[in-house]
Structure 1
Amino acid sequence: MALRRIKADLHVHTCLSPCAGLDMSPLGIVQEALRRGLDLIGVCDHNSAENVRAVMEAGRKKGLAVLGGMEVASAEEAHILVFFERDEDLLRFQDVIYRHLTGTNDEHAFGQQVIADD
């Protein structure tokens, strides 16, 4: 069996992550990935998967494969990328993460964290 070469970026943040700009909308991300010739992207915002489905839908419409994931921060401040084959499993994992997060978003420290629907 011959292996197929895939060009991918598995560490893509949306406008939900504090390190990403507001221009990182689902459609904008997909268009930029296609412009760069990518076959696959992995969406992994910090401690949340709220924008994964919107990016998956934009990717489906434009012909880009999207893998849903999350960048989880550990107590030791290590950042771990986790990916799930099914978005239902990812959203269940998100619920676990949300139950263990402390405090609320500080917009002065982290900026806006936008949930997108398209």
Structure 2
Amino acid sequence: MSGLPAWPGRYTDRYGSQELVFESDGRELIRTTIRGVPFEGEAMDALGALAGEPPERMFRLADGHLCSCLLEWDVPLTVGTPGRDPRTGVLHCALRLGDPVPSGALDEESLTVTLRLDGRA
């Protein structure tokens, strides 16, 4: 990929699931490749194919962005608590992007965030 900071992730839709890597400059760019198609966007819920519209049979799109899928990623981070040395944890994020509705919006968009630290969630 491009040398930007990267996090492991997974893409899941009606066609199956794929392990992948998300890259981000931390400000305004997120990149990944799904089923050989490069995607980029300013946010996880705004990932569009770099070469225009990918084949419809491979993905569902709403306004050119991925939908009808689950995006998951893990971000390692340092957690500090009073009276203890900083420890390494993992922030697990799961973004469910629902199906498009006639207005162009999605029928669902939900984010679940779980901190995993010291064997607990």
TM > 0.5 between the two?
no
* Larger RCO (CA under 8 A, 6+ residues apart): 1
In terms of fraction of residues, the more helix-rich structure is 1
In terms of fraction of residues, the more strand-rich structure is 2
TM value normalised by structure 1: 0.32
